[in-house]
Amino acid sequence: MPIDFLQAADTVAPQLLGCVLTHAGVSIRLTEVEAYLGAGDEAAHTFRGQTPRNAAMFGPGGHMYVYLSYGIHRAGNIVCGPAGTGQGVLLRAGEVVAGEELASRRRGPVPPHRLAQGPGNLGRALDLQISDNHAELGGDDFQLVEPGNMPEWVRGPRVGISRNVEAKLRFWIPGDVTVSRRKGRPAP
């Protein structure tokens, strides 16, 4: 059954694991994501309401929210939930399964398992642009193919945030080498 992007972000997030997202000549199998739950989630970009920057997150599920992180990295989220709820799933890491040479040119000299490891690196590998904000999944620019079988997954606290840090809204495929590492620790 296809993913219903009108569901809550924490329901959609684990369903995205193992999916292949294609954009700008590169395809990435998603191995790590984080759910952000809107007004009730202090870590969400939408916690304080709608702004011009986060407006895409308030659209209906199944669209992209692309933003500039730390002023340098373009990160991508898949919007979830009904219009107006401000929910999304941050694309944290994945394995480049097509377009590796192109992803390598965009990322520079890194090992293949690190090409899309971390939200900014994944965004660079896919060549996400602010102009991709609001783009529809399944449209001309973004295709998402679901796996035949959902992979095993685990959940735990999100990383790289300072609010609502203990919420177990990070989902990943255990043992996958592309999953982000916490500073000073091996991958989970």
Q: How far apart are CA 153 and CA 13, in angstroms?
A: 11
- The pLDDT value given to residue 50: 86
According to CATH, what is the number of the domain 13-172? 3.10.300.10
- The pLDDT value given to residue 26: 98
- The pLDDT value given to residue 47: 87
- The pLDDT value given to residue 182: 60
- The pLDDT value given to residue 161: 73
Using an 8 Å Cβ cutoff, are 79 and 8 in contact? no
What does pTM read for this prediction? 0.92
Which residues of the chain are modeled with pLDDT < 70? 70, 162, 182-188
Q: How far apart are CA 52 and CA 119, in angstroms?
A: 22
- The pLDDT value given to residue 135: 95
Using an 8 Å Cβ cutoff, are 45 and 57 in contact? yes
- The pLDDT value given to residue 187: 45
Using an 8 Å Cβ cutoff, are 153 and 171 in contact? yes
Report domain extents, the chain: 13-172
Using an 8 Å Cβ cutoff, are 180 and 45 in contact? no
- The pLDDT value given to residue 184: 40
- The pLDDT value given to residue 49: 82
Half-sphere exposure of 61 (CA within 13 A, CB side): 21
